Structure 1
């Protein structure tokens, strides 16, 4: 495909952004299942070590299968966006073995002892534990405020000049709280503080944080990007290409959080159906949320597609659609929640989210098990909260299963 042929659609980008110049004229990017790569001459090896292309040296450093997935994700996050000079936005992506590995690279390549990170209530449990149990142990201070209040963000940055990174997770897991990316980024930039966004729940199809001036975007690719629950992975994207290729890449390879060729291949294939999957996910989720909100057994539904959600208008401003993950509380509390989960017939009892099938989990005992109860409750993660990742099954079957389990 000619570089002059600009792709105009998300699905086209997901399928063709990485190109088709594959070994042996393969239609799909092959699985390069090799730990290392050979050199034709000593000079060839020296050039590869000295150059910026590390995809054909050693697979902890890079691999052509990784590159195909990285280029696709970068193209999706940059789709239709311009840089400060009015040119198409260029991003660098680094594929990791897991979301936690990508998050570790993000934090450790930008923070050192004596620095602080500012984030908000209601984070994924693994992210919060990484901050409070790993970063804190290295001398990096963790400051948590309700970042839906811009006044609290401004006060924190004013009172703590050691803050070097603001990390946003929106929509947040599992309360589905949303943070105003543009407003928080604008405030952070007045203090020359970098901003990162966990875009896992939204995917680049629903939300593009780089549009609002952020510096980094993170995904657990295990979720919607892969879409089929077949592989673990994470990715870190940045717009400072030089830094991503040097210091951030160096932290990535020294921490050893590289992906593997098979998982990268599965990710690349999964992303090809991202647009059509997300359309079905979101349509189903909207219908499920409307059903649950009216059900007599339900006390509260957390879903930004409902006008009752406090972040409904913000969601419409920065997201294409509200997404496919929600949480809800049953009037009977924890006991009713356990009974509901046990009565499900089709929907799947499992942690994780973003797969084509509908997944149901209990955050307090699963994804946020390592968070102290008093902290969970402060963030709205109650003992009876149920998280629902709505799949792409036929909507009548999803609702019928939920309805019978609620009886």
Structure 2
């Protein structure tokens, strides 16, 4: 067990040791506390816990020691090397949820009320899009979508809509890999005293730390790269306002009932320990795949921020240590070509989701974004021939061979 006073210099060490708590029975790994409730030694101890001194030892919907380790580990990764306005190490609070959608719901419901407006951008994850435009809409919360890569358009939207309360972005975005300048959009949001939240799922804190730019909240679907093995669903909301996170956000989290479970939290904690190793391989493979696809005659366009051809290449290189393990590409033959390609794959796995050690390939138009009308999809760059690819850690020669044979005439 690493001493808490030991200053870890790299994120790989933080991924392994960050957030860990000493176990009273000296277990090397964080135990799975498979208990719905926790007993009290005395009435006073029970009163203290209910007063908020330790909500993780009352009832597992409110918190659980296994959850706490995962929460602290993720917060430590997001805060690593960053300082607050006083020059002190940045302190963050995380809340682990049963899914990314649950964490997103806590984010929105704890910060927004009927009459408020969310400002966001094109090309969002389909579940986020529906949550904003359907569920929140029915609760009196509106959503305005514009191109937040353009500071003039973003500021115009803010000026024209005084009800905007929160700016929510994905960067890189799903599935077009659009990138928004975190420094620019956060400066703009703070100018108008707006909250700003960032979906950091694609990048992970290993490649990008949005809190560096003074954002208020960071969100992850922990199902993806943080877990890394496709073994557990999960989501996390991290905030810099510790009082808000411990009180109002926690209250919504507890009352909505979107808490994680100890077994999934355990799997997440173990997955995070290899984050650095996995991401390095994901990134190296993705770059080679993108370069191969960009030269292929059947490929119209490749969306990968590591390529200078991507319109947001400069933005990605400014705020990310590497473009990442995700890419998408558009086949010239439209939906027929997309389905043919998917069907011919032999190594790559036909599946939604992303961030697992194996390469996952999906067709957004017929899968994750099928509920979004075609005209809107295409406006966002999600065409019928678009293929999304989560590049795994297999040998690159095998990945490229599978792509080559699947793209044969």
Same fold (TM over 0.5): yes
User: Is the contact made by 1:32 and 1:63 (CA closer than 8 Å) also made in structure 2?
Assistant: yes
Deviation at 1:212, TM superposition (A): 0.6
Structure 1 residues 154-165: aligned runs within 5 Å: 154-165=155-166
Rounded to whole Å, the distance in 2 between the matches of 1:85 and 1:106 is 26
- The residue aligned with 2:192 is 191
Deviation at 1:44, TM superposition (A): 1.3
- The residue aligned with 1:97 is 98
User: Is the contact made by 2:222 and 2:233 (CA closer than 8 Å) also made in structure 1?
Assistant: yes
Rounded to whole Å, the distance in 2 between the matches of 1:362 and 1:234 is 23
Deviation at 1:326, TM superposition (A): 0.7
- The residue aligned with 1:368 is 369
- The residue aligned with 2:57 is 56
Rounded to whole Å, the distance in 2 between the matches of 1:396 and 1:53 is 51
Rounded to whole Å, the distance in 2 between the matches of 1:364 and 1:298 is 17
Deviation at 1:373, TM superposition (A): 1.5
Deviations 1:262-305 (A, max 9, x none): 00000000000000100000000000000000011111111001
Deviations 1:366-399 (A, max 9, x none): 1112212211111011111100000000000000
Gaps of 5+ in 1: none
- The residue aligned with 1:70 is 71
- The residue aligned with 2:206 is 205
- The residue aligned with 2:181 is 180
Other structure's SS at 2:56 match: coil
Deviation at 1:239, TM superposition (A): 0.3
User: Is the contact made by 1:347 and 1:357 (CA closer than 8 Å) also made in structure 2?
Assistant: yes
Rounded to whole Å, the distance in 1 between the matches of 2:53 and 2:337 is 56
Rounded to whole Å, the distance in 2 between the matches of 1:272 and 1:370 is 36
Rounded to whole Å, the distance in 1 between the matches of 2:151 and 2:204 is 24
- The residue aligned with 1:249 is 250
User: Is the contact made by 1:164 and 1:193 (CA closer than 8 Å) also made in structure 2?
Assistant: yes
Deviation at 1:364, TM superposition (A): 1.1
TM, length-normalised to structure 2:
0.99
- The residue aligned with 1:274 is 275
Rounded to whole Å, the distance in 2 between the matches of 1:4 and 1:178 is 36
- The residue aligned with 2:322 is 321
User: Is the contact made by 1:20 and 1:27 (CA closer than 8 Å) also made in structure 2?
Assistant: no
Structure 1 residues 7-406: aligned runs within 5 Å: 7-406=8-407
Deviation at 1:141, TM superposition (A): 1.1
Deviation at 1:146, TM superposition (A): 0.7
Number of residue pairs matched?
A: 407
Rounded to whole Å, the distance in 2 between the matches of 1:223 and 1:334 is 26
User: Is the contact made by 2:338 and 2:384 (CA closer than 8 Å) also made in structure 1?
Assistant: no
Rounded to whole Å, the distance in 2 between the matches of 1:369 and 1:58 is 39
User: Is the contact made by 1:116 and 1:162 (CA closer than 8 Å) also made in structure 2?
Assistant: yes
Deviation at 1:20, TM superposition (A): 4.4
Rounded to whole Å, the distance in 2 between the matches of 1:139 and 1:237 is 25
User: Is the contact made by 2:20 and 2:73 (CA closer than 8 Å) also made in structure 1?
Assistant: no
Rounded to whole Å, the distance in 1 between the matches of 2:42 and 2:53 is 18
Rounded to whole Å, the distance in 2 between the matches of 1:200 and 1:2 is 29
Rounded to whole Å, the distance in 2 between the matches of 1:265 and 1:23 is 17
Rounded to whole Å, the distance in 2 between the matches of 1:43 and 1:370 is 53
Superposed CA RMSD = 0.7
User: Is the contact made by 1:20 and 1:28 (CA closer than 8 Å) also made in structure 2?
Assistant: no
User: Is the contact made by 1:23 and 1:30 (CA closer than 8 Å) also made in structure 2?
Assistant: no
Other structure's SS at 1:109 match: helix
Rounded to whole Å, the distance in 1 between the matches of 2:20 and 2:198 is 27
Q: Which has the larger displacement, 115-124 or 46-55?
A: 46-55
User: Is the contact made by 2:67 and 2:262 (CA closer than 8 Å) also made in structure 1?
Assistant: yes
Gaps of 5+ in 2: none
Deviations 1:128-172 (A, max 9, x none): 000011111111111110111110110011111110000010000
TM, length-normalised to structure 1:
0.99
Deviations 1:239-276 (A, max 9, x none): 00000000000000000000000000000000000001
Over 4 Å off, 4+ runs = none
